Structure 1
Amino acid sequence: MARVVAVDGQRELKLTEGWELALTAPDAVGDLAALESAKLDWLPAVVPGTAAQALRAAGKYTLEAPTPLHGHDVWYRCRFAASACQPGEARTLRFGGLATFATVWLNGEQVLESDNMFHEHEVDVSLALEERNWLHVCFRALDPKLAAKRPRPRWRPRMMSHQNLRFVRTTLLGHLPGWCPPVHAVGPWRGVSLVEHVGPLRVRSADLRTAVDGTAGVLAVELHVEHEQPRALEDAWLECAGVRSPFRHSGQGVLRADVRVEQAALWWPHTHGESALHAVTAQVAGTAVDLGRTGFRTLELDRAKGDFALSVNGAPVFARGACWSTPDLVALPGTAEAYAPWLALAREAGMNLLRVGGTMAYEADPFFALCDELGILVWQDAMLANFDYPAGDRAFLASLTKEVQQLLERTQAHPSLAVVCGGSEIAQQAAMLGVPRAQWSALSLDEVLERLVLKHRADVPFVAHTPLGGELPFQADSGVTHYYGVGAYLRPLDDARRANVRFASECLAFANVPAPATVAAVLAPGEAPVHSPAWKRTVPRDVGASWDFEDVREHYLKTLYGVDPLTLRYEEPQRYLELSRAVTGEVMEATFAEWRRPASTTRGGLVFLFQDLRPGAGWGVVDALGTPKAAYAALKRAFAPRALFLTDEGLNGLHAHLVNERPTALEGTLTVALYKGTVAIAQGSQPVTLAPRAGLTVPVAGLLDAFVDATYAYRFGPPAHEVTVARLTAPGGATLAEAFHFPKGLALPRQELGLEGEVVLGEGGWALHVKTGRFAQSVHVEDEHFRAVDDWFHLAPGAARVVPLKALGPGQAVPDGELHALNALAPARFRSKS
């Protein structure tokens, strides 16, 4: 059912206080009687939360040496008060999620057993409540269950810590030794509450569907209710966006109503328009019912001729973003406060699609609500990945069906849900491990999941697997792929075009080096990065491989900057870190330049990952402490709704590609200048007009009065210039976008640049006025108390830029730091004068 936010006369008491937990050996305490006599070390616990979170708060748990909780039973207990249940009233205990094999007792009586971390439960406790109540939950150890003898799988993915996890409905986080510390999810991770039904009306379920008919938004709602006086149900209405419609009572407490909103404001991803949301309310027999907010939008997925193109409200959308992990691997939080800073960063970077992959965990309602508000689409995998799942096991299939059905029902009102996928790398794993083609997909699982989507979210496209398409599931030029040609497979940058990628639901995974403060947090005093054991623990790798993703990064460091990584680490370790931060961003920006140009066949790409699972050089473009990395800044430029790119077309010269995704036309001027030192040896400009949601490609040669070998393809002597600067400006002269091309590569000599930073304070807060005499490469700001909103950018000779600064925390700190550039001899100091 769609989530009912509130009903007058219904009170929800969140049981968050007074919880304790204790650990025992598996089955050492069999029941509550044995628990009373056992001498256990009880610790304060956080609910919703995990046992690891409570142990961390008590100083007994670290990411460096996590306690293996699956080898223990974990007991929780809570004392709470409740009012007596009067005639006509009811009380239910609501469990948002119990990880994983859980037994629940209320006042000594067993009321629930659960074996699926992702199930929600409601238990009628109207007759079991007392004035003072004891609630106990026992989470049984997972290790003994994994050790049970099970049928052999057709294939065995090496990336998992135990093959029998395929039978257990729990998150795979903590079981991926190549890239995730063994943090075990145990506990009431999604909260516990007591719901008091004291009014005459009880809403049993709600079904909420939206559609777009021409320029009108259409809302259809079905309520299943109970009322003390059934005849009173004839007086009921539904309201949305100021339009009210009566409910039709068809008997048995079923109410149906439709609302048609003419000229409705549609919901768009933030890159393409406003993300309009509308409150949905009802009144049934005088009782108000809050059904939350929803949005009107259409989704289409074009898969013709191997394509994979998403459209929203009839407009093609280049979907870009990242694969989401979790705000906190230990706590697995589900609150708006936990999600908000991360999702704000995703929106700031121009991301319009986040994928919650099959190795992670389903996020809570506030995640989708915030994505609705921020205009971020969500690709949702079922929590299935890599394994040969027991599709013929009826109990497994029933548990999975309930899990996915609950997810689809509780997200019914959310327009942000854009794709539902059956799982990650299942068909790919089977194919790569030599399983016959006929066994690459469990059709029974695919069919069950597709039927569920058609029944509960028919407005959302269903994808059986990712990757999937072509003769091989992982084929890049058909359907959806996980593209690591540029990346793990060490292909040259032009492979991003050669591979003819249609849609990459994973791509561009690198060991992204974090900011200096995070590096310091990872290492003990005196330890050096890269080969310190503490550092290496944070670097992702494929289990069994003789390389890791730091090796991948170093391959491109050598290719793009012409340095020997080993020598550079020996001689200039800080220089090594600076170049390592920059290089992955350069690779990502170049790749998306290829994919977003107007002639590209690519319809989207999601970087793996959005945020790290622990501090260090992980896949995330944001580190585990919430600090963006250099790669994040590069993606922010590459993902801008109005963007400019330069591509080397060989003997065809340099091409400028302009993109306008906004609903209004773009008029401006495209200017190109080729610099040698501080002198522009050639330059030109032309006015440009881009229609709404359109692109334009302009050969740079057409802007210049004479031939210049802009890409150094003809090689008539040494290159005549060092950098080409393209700039798109608005009619008033404001810069809308910039792009740069380096005919000799990124290995620029270090020299005196005349780089300066001056702190200014305006109505919008602190900012840094940056200017340079000579070309400045990968300019970045280091300040203990502030983050530069624009960072790791190139700055043309003689150019200036105002960079907004965001405070990293509360307080009265003023900007005080250093301005760096890769080709500068030394950093430039800046400090506020106030």
Structure 2
Amino acid sequence: MLSIFDLNGKWKARGFGSRHINPHAYLGPDVDERLFNDAQVPGDIHLDLQEQGIVADPNIGLNALAQRWVEEQIWVYRRNFIVPDDAIGKHVWLVFEAIDLVADIYLNGERIGSHANVFRPCRIDVTGKLKDGDNTLSLHIDSGLYCVAEKPSNDYNISWDHKLHKRSWLRKPQCQFSWDWSPRLINVGIPGNVRLEWTDSARIDSVVMYPELSDDLKSATISVRAFVDCVADEPLGAIIRLRAPDADEVVVQGVELPVGLSRHDVSVTIPDPALWWPKPYGDQPLYEVQCELEIDGDVVDSATRRVGIRSVKINQSPHPVEGRYFIIEINGTPIFAKGGNWVPPDTIYSSIDADRYRKLVDLAVEANFNCLRIWGGGLYADPAFLDACDEAGVMVWHDFIFACSKYPGDDPEFLQNVRAEIEYQVKRLSPHPSLVVWCGNNELEWAAWDWGYDREHSHPDYALYHLEIPRIIAREDPSRPYWPSSPYSLDNINPTSPITGDQHPWHVSLGASGTDFWKYRTDVSRFPNEGGVLGASGLATLYQALPPEHRHVFSMAWEFHDNTCNFNSNPGICYRAMKDWLDLTADELTFEEYAFLSGLLQADGLREYIVNFRRRMFSSASAIFWMYNDTWPQSHGWTIVDYYLRRKLAYHPVRRAFAPISVIATVEEDKILIFGVNDTSEPWQGDVRFGLFEFSGGLQNDRTHSVILPANTSTQLAEIALEKLDLLGFENAGAFALLLKDGVTVSQDRLLMARFKDINWKASTVAVARRGDTIALNSSSYVWGVCLDPECDSPLSDDVFDLLPGIEYVMDWPADKPLPEVKRTGTDTLLDR
């Protein structure tokens, strides 16, 4: 039987800088531990220093700037322990699930190994090296900066600060070295569990499980690959037993275990399987599969995984207009992917617990997501995150952790390290049905085409993404597709081409379209995987992250917490948006007014992004924006959920834009078009109401008729000649559309053709009336951006919506809760200026 001795808990740690003596003198057993401070494992040294009051919370003010010294220290971690008697005479391993980053490992003063990859575990054979009684385990750890000090950098990156960190060489989250949305905060420590393992026979090293579904969906096979490490002096006879719910029988297979590591393939058949589906296409049943290793009648090791039965492929058949489709198909059904990009939800990632992962997935589901893209500069998925996605029906597109840089794939040591990492991660994550696509990297193919990364025609990592990784996936887990890069195109055309592959449509915000998010209306991207609009965080988060003396735009702390993409131009993109859309500057607004209006503009921009692609379903097969969640509190950010898990002003507009049954009003050449979108697997029947509305009050061309929205498609329901709106004046009127079921509004949309600064606004009075466990809001004139919680500190069921003249807006509201106050509207905020 495999036995385990936990080495987590309280360790000792000390940092050594240039003024200190050689840290190697402190690696042996005879050390005065009064020279060391307490350190928690798993953990990160920043967290220990915070606990001891040596550094402050890096999320507040300028505190992160004062912690640069931490990454520049050499850290010695120590722990004394007594070996259990049962381990003596057995085959024993010391296991670190993660070390960040470059570590030399010592046992009782003897160097027993080294490690330099936080993305894979470190396993060291310590058989015969443990003593009866006290043992001392020590690690000499640095953040990676010393390791790469003499490595070349010019051939691998063109970012101006790359020589200060050379992150391309370091296998740890790349965003630690700073990104536009994250500060530089390079983690150091032991973020994974630590343990001793021992046995005198064999253990299961790893288990790969994946489903194979018949074409008619009526039968499934769960394939299991058990990798077994036999430590006996000679081969052993063994039994591998599989147990699974609804299986025809318990599968028992006799095997011979050669000395060392060996692979054994077993499978179990599931007749009439319950299929796993993404939201809102069906349910998410999970099968618990147990793999047991039995020797001489005793179960010596076992592994249990939850598996969802589903098939997944990417449909890239020819498009009837030009190029190709790019559609994720689950169980043979095309799926429209709705969601955002996922980044590590904390700069110090060892602080992220299972509850935080689950809350973030729950908030994504509430926002009608069915897809999250794990961006390639952060972390591989945590089991708690994928468990939550499995249960919720949220698909995961998973980049391998390579982003916006060349990587030294021409260096044999680096390549060997990365091969082991990828093999480990592919095996580890194989059972999860939510993981539907593996992707080689973030934007490296695009970089080779457009960013100057083709300098001297050097592509040291090309073979890694196009040969090495796909070979590993084909060998270890062929159950899900692999895509070389994001964005990427087939047929040897530019990876940003909108007509094939996946896209990052950054022409808005970061490209030629600038602040004009209406340019999304004509974007025909087949599978948009990034693209977004910056907006200020909610006031509650700004108040929490910025000290009182810094609570104004352009303060030093505001700038430090700002997204650096806001510095790509002068004035920054967010300040340009304020001028372009509202004809206002930050200096003309109070801090509270600026945050509110910036948040409203982000909400409008993300809505335009989403509804454009949804109405093109499946010519476009996704609306995945940048980005969903934050790593730390930002002044301006791309996200809809901030670092403190507060819903930003854009959250509810995005949630409504992603609703399974939606109406969309848009413009195409000389026509206003009304679309109905149905993401569900059943037809929807109701009424569509549409027409024109005057901002000062009143409806024109108001019509209603019955409609049926076929399952899983977008349908054009109506059209209006654009000239009818032009006759009223774009500055005086817009178009509207509603879907109704039994007279109740299910979805609402509006189309504006004049920017907010050009609209002839009328002062509004919003009436709020109770209707049982709902409230109805009404206004005689058009109101932009009705907001009940501009601080973004209350988890309301709805907020930040427009009122059409004379049309009630109904939302859930507890009957025992006082009627809410409309605290701000975009209309009144503009009129007040």
Partner of 2:305: 292
Counterparts of 1:361 and 1:729 in 2: how far apart (Å)? 43
In the TM superposition, 1:755-766 aligns within 5 A as 755-757=766-768
What residue in structure 1 maps to residue 552 of structure 2?
529
Residue 74 of structure 1 corresponds to 75
Q: Given the alignment, which residue of 759, 775, 787 partners 1:780?
A: 787
Residue matched to 1:553: 574
Partner AA of 1:477 in structure 2: I
**Aligned partner of residue 247 in structure 1, secondary structure:** strand
- Distance change in 2, residues 1:35/1:157 (3 Å): farther
Q: Distance in 1 between matches of 2:131 and 2:664?
A: 65
Residue 315 (structure 2) aligns with: 302
Distance 1:599 1:115, change over 3 A: closer
Q: Does 1:696 find its partner at 2:715?
A: yes
Match 2:42 to one of 16, 40, 48: 48
Q: In the TM superposition, what is the alpha-carbon distance from 1:719 to its structure 2 partner?
A: 5.7
Whole-Å separation in 2 of the counterparts to 1:155 and 1:233: 51
For structure 1, the 5+ residue unaligned runs are 1-8, 702-708, 807-811, 828-834
1:423 corresponding residue in structure 2? 441
Distance 1:472 1:204, change over 3 A: closer
Q: Is the 2:524–2:613 Cα contact (8 Å) retained in structure 1? A: no
Question: Cα distance, 1:362 vs. partner?
Answer: 1.6
Deviations 1:72-125 (A, max 9, x none): 111222344542126886543321110110122334343331011212123344
Letter in 2 for 1:517: A
Cα separation, 2, equivalents of 1:667 and 1:496: 29
The answer as to 2:626 corresponding to 1:618 is no
Per-residue Cα deviation, 1:222-277 (whole angstroms, up to 9, x for no partner): 33556999998458443234543322224227764322222211111123221221
Superposed displacement of residue 466, structure 1: 1.8
1:481 aligns with: 503
Equivalent position amino acid for 1:459 in 2? S
- 2:267 aligned residue (239, 248, 258): 258
Query: For residues 162-561 of structure 1, what are the structure 2 equivalents within 5 Å?
Result: 162=164, 164-176=166-178, 178-195=180-197, 202-213=203-214, 214=216, 215-225=218-228, 233-234=238-239, 236-241=241-246, 243-252=248-257, 256-283=265-292, 284=294, 285=297, 287=299, 289-304=302-317, 305-333=323-351, 335-431=353-449, 432-433=451-452, 435=454, 439=458, 442-446=461-465, 447-469=467-489, 471-491=493-513, 492-510=516-534, 512-542=535-565, 545-547=568-570, 551-560=572-581
CA distance in 2, matches of 1:246, 1:340: 34
After superposition, give the CA deviation of every residue in 1:153-209 in whole Å (9 maximum; x if it has no partner).
1652336463632222222122136442111111111222344659x8743432322
Q: Deviations over 1:628-678 (max 9, x none)?
A: 2122222212222222211012422x2111111111221111112433344
AA aligned to 1:698 is: L
825 and 153 in structure 1: CA distance in 2 versus 1, 3 angstrom threshold: closer
- Letter matched to residue 574 of structure 2: R
Letter in 1 for 2:564: R
Separation in 1, partners of 2:649, 2:88? 63
Matches within 5 A, 1:129-168: 130-140=132-142, 142-150=144-152, 152-153=154-155, 156-158=158-160, 160=162, 162=164, 164-168=166-170
Deviates most, 78-87 or 228-237: 228-237
Match of 2:700 among 681, 691, 694: 681
Kept in 1: contact 2:182–2:347 (CA 8 A): no
CA contact (8 A) 1:207 1:223 kept: yes
Contact kept? 1:227, 1:233, Cα under 8 Å: no
Change (3 A) 1:135 1:770: farther
Equivalent position of 1:733 in the other structure = 743
1:239–1:282: 8 Å Cα contact kept in structure 2? no
Note closer, same or farther for the CA distance 1:543–1:464 as it changes in structure 2 (3 Å cut). farther
Residues 688 and 133 (structure 1 numbering): CA distance in 2 closer, same or farther, change over 3 Å? farther
Instruction: For residue 407 of structure 1, report the CA deviation from its aligned partner.
Output: 0.4
CA distance, structure 2, for counterparts of residue 104 and residue 174 of structure 1: 24
Corresponding position: 1:630 with 2:649: yes
Q: What amino acid maps onto 2:327 in structure 1? A: A
Q: Give the match for residue 106 of structure 1.
A: 107
Stretch of structure 1 that moved more, 735-744 or 771-780: 771-780
Alignment partners' CA distance in 2, 1:308 and 1:119: 32
The answer to whether the 8 Å contact 1:678/1:773 transfers is yes
Q: TM-score of the superposition, structure 1-length normalised?
A: 0.87
What secondary structure does 1:137 align onto?
Answer: strand
1:24 is aligned, of 6, 16, 23, to 16
Matches within 5 A, 1:619-658: 619-652=638-671, 654-658=672-676
SS state at 1:419 partner:
strand
Give, in whole Å, the separation in 1 of the partners of 2:270 and 2:523. Answer: 45
Distance in 2, matches of 1:146 and 1:450, equals 28
Aligned equivalents of 2:725 and 2:653: distance in 1? 30
Distance in 1 between the 2:469 and 2:271 partners?
34
SS at match of 1:270: coil
2:763 & 2:99 partners in 1: Cα distance? 60
Q: Counterparts of 2:165 and 2:145 in 1: how far apart (Å)?
A: 12
One-letter amino acid of the counterpart of residue 112, structure 1:
G
Match of 1:579 in 2: 597
Q: Residue 614 of structure 2 contacts residue 623 of structure 2 at CA under 8 Å; is this kept in 1?
A: no
CA distance in structure 1 between the partners assigned to 2:730 and 2:448 by the alignment:
50
Tell me how far 1:396 sits from its aligned partner.
0.9
How far apart are the structure 2 equivalents of 1:463 and 1:430?
Answer: 16
Q: What's the secondary structure of 1:389's corresponding residue?
A: coil
What is the identity, as a one-letter code, of the residue corresponding to 1:102?
A
Rate the CA distance shift 1:74–1:547 in 2: closer, same or farther, 3 A.
farther
Distance in 2 of aligned mates of 1:44 and 1:817:
50
Question: 1:464-513 CA distances to partner (integer Å, 9 max, x unpaired)?
Answer: 12222263333343322221112212514453354432222221142x21
Aligned length: 793
Name the residue aligned to 1:797. 805
C-alpha distance after superposition, 1:499-549 (max 9, x if no partner) = 432222221142x2111111212332244432111111122225984447x
SS at match of 1:503: coil
What TM-score do the two structures reach when normalised by structure 2?
0.87
Counterpart Cα distance in 2 of 1:785 and 1:513: 14
For the residues of structure 2 that align with 1:618 and 1:78, how far apart are their CA atoms?
Answer: 41
1:822 is aligned to 2:826: yes
CA contact (8 A) 2:345 2:643 kept: yes
Distance 1:161 1:756 in 2: 59
Q: Give the match's secondary structure for 1:53.
A: helix
Question: In angstroms, what is the RMSD of aligned CA positions?
Answer: 3.4
d(CA) in 2 for partners of 1:56 and 1:768? 46
